Structure 1
């Protein structure tokens, strides 16, 4: 059986391209992971997600443990079979959702006790329980359980939270055990404080993980502060392991993160925006709801090969959004995910060719030029 491994292929400056090998297939990096929160990438068939070029999707421990439950998914053959996705799946630990979505919650050294946002039922989530849930789901890449403090927070609060997360990381490692073909990633915390990030990285590498995430960013600190952390945080992590920036982001966030040495990213933005009438293109964001599109026979982006651009006009996409037809969210989500995967493929090729700086300049120039002129 193929074991989990990472081959770092090319570098260009701090940008990296490579391949993560798993028993369920290879993941080309830099990689963007569409988010399938409740065992589905909203408005998409799994075959369609694969057709956009995605090598891996993300599932959500918190949502799946509450509904339909990890035990039920396990009885039904695991998450891959359940959702008909046979490539790799990464599951998050549930920590972020407990902090942001759950009702009344109590945090202790042991873990978190919380009330479900669905029905108010009480649940415990600990490092051990998070590992058990992710084992029942059968995910290929498992995230250790951590605490995500909301920013802004005092440095003392961020330090306390980071130290707790490092103790939980060690417990996650112990509970994960020996699972050939499956990987466990540690999560660096420390907010926007360099010393705390260094302490966290030292603790994680001392425990030893198959990959490392930069956590606690994209939580309201702004792009400048996020890039400030990414200017040093990835280099604190082992060079020979994948580096994952959680919850990012907009296209220019993704390009900036890859330029700073990040290998994997995920975000709900392309699918969520598709359902609200926003399309990401080479020339920036197009709001298809705007009246300027109602008589426009041109595609969203003439250079895009997705079904929305190949087969439908802006006028049609405007019409079905205004008419609240389901096909609107389906076509725009497909387009957005296709655009994101094109972005990743472009970066991989440029890093491999040693032309990443020029590629980045062209990317920013195209976006700065803005959308095509109205007819």
Structure 2
């Protein structure tokens, strides 16, 4: 097994790519979907079950873990991998997005962000240096730069100011990260929906130099059409020989469209969050298990799915346990959703390798357009 962080590009189909990210803790097949383990757990799942769905890597949240149980405590207990019983790669975000969206009474300066915890009101400071320190204490394999992500829409002056601050913070993040063989630091491209700002950001990041690059500042309310418009040029502005990560995306059709445009890595809370609220992602679109039409349906969610939920339980049972507010409801639907996402990534991977992505994408959209199976 490699002792370094490396990226091998195996094949392309138009702009779509397939490859392998090699890390000391194991390989990550790309395109890759990273389940979100916010507080050192993928909600409603055991780590071995997450692995069984096909996940090669998980995401952890710096903001949540620094507040509870604290990065220092996790380090004392042997690091995040040991703490949560996941020995494969982990990517941690920088905490910047959560500070902007969750924290109370935050104050932004050149130094960083001071804020009050949404949990107990305690006061904290996050800067590029502190974010790097927290992620080092956690022991994550892929570390994200500390950045600022303004909500869209915003005016050009605000977007430019924010992007330039993020680039200064990127340089400080690189400096504070230091020399950590086997670990990677990813830069984050910002610039909203402005192509010239995106290019300026990409230039700044390339000059600093990173092991991977993220397209940040999307999936923040701009809509799919605007996001795809940005992805028509943003990935191409980043180095071709490094992984490209689209942060916080997304729905299955978002992911398919982003893979077509050259993205390699994704994360999103949707599969687990939707599972806990009674929604299942299937080849034929989203199934809402709360609906009364399922209460006497002996069929599985998806007859073509091999996950434990579809192999062993009926729609009628899933409807019942959701209505009864039984824990198994969220467990089964989350397992199914994560399985579906990983199966989708494997399908994309295979189609790109075979040079047949266009046909795969046509089939994906056509099956979803058919809608759910007819009620019994």
- Tell me the TM-score range normalised by the shorter chain: over 0.9
TM-score normalised per structure 2: 0.99
Question: What is residue 251 of structure 1 aligned with on the other side?
Answer: 252
Does the residue aligned with 1:113 lie in a helix, a strand or coil?
Answer: strand
Question: What is residue 363 of structure 1 aligned with on the other side?
Answer: 364
CA drift at 1:45: 0.1
Runs of 4+ in 1 over 4 A off after TM superposition: none
Map 1:72-91 → 2, pairs under 5 A: 72-91=73-92
CA–CA distance in 2 between the matches of 1:154 and 1:40?
37
Q: After superposition, what is the alpha-carbon deviation per residue over 1:71-117, rounded to whole angstroms, capped at 9, x for unaligned?
A: 00000000000000010000000000000000001100000000000
Question: What is residue 261 of structure 2 aligned with on the other side?
Answer: 260
CA drift at 1:151: 1.1
Does the residue aligned with 1:165 lie in a helix, a strand or coil?
Answer: helix
CA–CA distance in 1 between the matches of 2:336 and 2:156?
41
CA–CA distance in 2 between the matches of 1:87 and 1:80?
8
CA drift at 1:152: 1.2
CA drift at 1:289: 0.5
CA–CA distance in 1 between the matches of 2:129 and 2:155?
29
Question: What is residue 126 of structure 1 aligned with on the other side?
Answer: 127
Q: After superposition, what is the alpha-carbon deviation per residue over 1:280-337, rounded to whole angstroms, capped at 9, x for unaligned?
A: 0000000000000000000000000001100000000000000000000000000000
CA–CA distance in 2 between the matches of 1:2 and 1:291?
53
CA drift at 1:150: 1.1
CA drift at 1:2: 1.9
Q: After superposition, what is the alpha-carbon deviation per residue over 1:255-277, rounded to whole angstroms, capped at 9, x for unaligned?
A: 00000000000000000000000
CA–CA distance in 1 between the matches of 2:51 and 2:156?
42
TM-score normalised per structure 1: 1.00
CA–CA distance in 2 between the matches of 1:170 and 1:94?
17
- 1:290 equivalent in alignment to 2:291: yes
Question: What is residue 97 of structure 1 aligned with on the other side?
Answer: 98
Q: After superposition, what is the alpha-carbon deviation per residue over 1:150-170, rounded to whole angstroms, capped at 9, x for unaligned?
A: 111111000000000000000
Question: What is residue 192 of structure 1 aligned with on the other side?
Answer: 193
Question: What is residue 275 of structure 1 aligned with on the other side?
Answer: 276
Q: CA RMSD in A?
A: 0.4
Q: After superposition, what is the alpha-carbon deviation per residue over 1:206-253, rounded to whole angstroms, capped at 9, x for unaligned?
A: 000000000000000000000000000000000000000000000000
Does the residue aligned with 1:212 lie in a helix, a strand or coil?
Answer: strand
CA–CA distance in 2 between the matches of 1:213 and 1:178?
20
Q: Structure 2, unaligned stretches of length 5 or more?
A: none
Question: What is residue 348 of structure 1 aligned with on the other side?
Answer: 349
Map 1:143-222 → 2, pairs under 5 A: 143-222=144-223
CA–CA distance in 2 between the matches of 1:298 and 1:163?
54
Question: What is residue 37 of structure 1 aligned with on the other side?
Answer: 38
Question: What is residue 55 of structure 1 aligned with on the other side?
Answer: 56
- Equivalenced residue count is 375
